[in-house]
């Protein structure tokens, strides 16, 4: 990986930047210290956040690769950068909920913390201007966002990720409340897990106290955001 060199900026998101490289099949994913909520209405810089999320994401993706889930991540190259496979991203977020929280409670009026049996699955269109609306399979197919086969694979893989990570966090004394995943298509036409898995994109609670250890600390002004991310990492065996 040492011969992969950073090129021009391809895309700049709310907390990450993607760069071209001298290899047409590889990109560099940079995690910045930027932290945002409410579609970018609340933005702050949090020291070490980029580094923590980069290393956390690499660790989680390694766990998933070892369990047979293809991911985009290839290697860490600096504290806040990783080399990733270039994917044609599907503009749909896949969300699994093990416990009721966030928008599910607001939409349906259910109590926060309710354990869901079975776990729920939802699709959301990745579109900030529209506030990431919930969509269904027929929307995805009718508007050309994904094929039926891709949808089926994404659902299977999302539940597989849940079956791998929920026990990992539970072993660290935490509940994996919910999470979102994004997928893309690689050069061989395979569905591959892309983007990231960090406390920015999931909810994690202490199993006993229900203390929030994820991005809700930023959304709700609870403080100690990066410190909580580091605590999560250490509980699952990643020293930061």
Report the 3 state secondary structure along 129-164.
Answer: HHCCCEECHHHHHHCCCCCHHHHHHHHHHHHHHHHH
Token representation of residue 84: 């990733």
Q: Taking a C-beta distance cutoff of 8 angstroms, is the pair 210, 177 a contact? A: no
Residues of the chain with pLDDT under 50: 1
pLDDT, tens digit, 9 for 90 and up, residues 27-74:
999 999 999 888 777 889 999 999 999 999 999 999 999 999 999 999
Give the bridge partners for 203, in sequence order: 178
- Cβ atoms of 184 and 192 closer than 8 Å: yes
- pLDDT at position 36 is 87
Q: Count of CB atoms within 10 A of residue 71's CB?
A: 22
Residue 1 and residue 83 in contact, taking contact as beta carbons nearer than 8 Å: yes
**What is the pLDDT at residue 38?**
83
Task: Please report the domains of the chain, with CATH numbers, ordered by start residue.
Answer: 6-85 (3.30.200.20), 88-235 (3.30.470.20)
Q: Is 63 helix (H, G, I), strand (E, B) or coil?
A: helix
User: What is the rounded CA–CA span in Å between residue 73 and residue 91?
Assistant: 19
Q: Would you state the pLDDT for residue 39?
A: 73
- Give SS3 for 179: strand
| Residue indicated by tokens 């690769």 | 65
- For 139-145, the CB contacts below 8 A with 24+ separation are 140/92, 145/90, 145/91, 145/92
């Amino acid at each position: 990986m040492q011969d992969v060199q950073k090129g021009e900026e391809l895309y700049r998101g709310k907390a990450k930047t993607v760069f071209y490289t001298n290899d047409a099949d590889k990109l560099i994913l940079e995690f910045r210290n930027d932290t945002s909520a409410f579609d970018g209405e609340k933005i702050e810089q949090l020291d070490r956040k980029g580094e923590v999320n980069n290393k956390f994401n690499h660790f989680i993706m390694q766990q998933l690769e070892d369990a047979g889930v293809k991911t985009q991540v290839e290697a860490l190259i600096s504290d806040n950068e990783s080399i990733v496979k270039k994917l044609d991203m599907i503009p749909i977020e896949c969300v699994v909920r093990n416990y009721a929280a966030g928008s599910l409670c607001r939409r349906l009026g259910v109590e926060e913390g309710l354990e869901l049996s079975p776990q729920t699955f939802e699709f959301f269109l990745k579109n900030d201007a529209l506030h990431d609306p919930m969509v269904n399979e027929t929307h995805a197919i009718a508007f050309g966002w994904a094929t039926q086969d891709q949808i089926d694979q994404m659902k299977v893989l999302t539940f597989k990720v849940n079956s791998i990570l929920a026990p990992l966090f539970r072993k660290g004394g935490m509940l994996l409340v919910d999470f979102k995943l994004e997928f893309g298509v690689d050069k061989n036409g395979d569905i591959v897990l892309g983007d990231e898995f960090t406390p920015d994109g999931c909810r994690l609670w202490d199993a006993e106290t229900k203390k929030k250890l994820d991005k809700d600390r930023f959304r709700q002004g609870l403080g100690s955001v990066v410190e909580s991310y580091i605590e999560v990492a250490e509980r699952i065996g990643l020293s930061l």
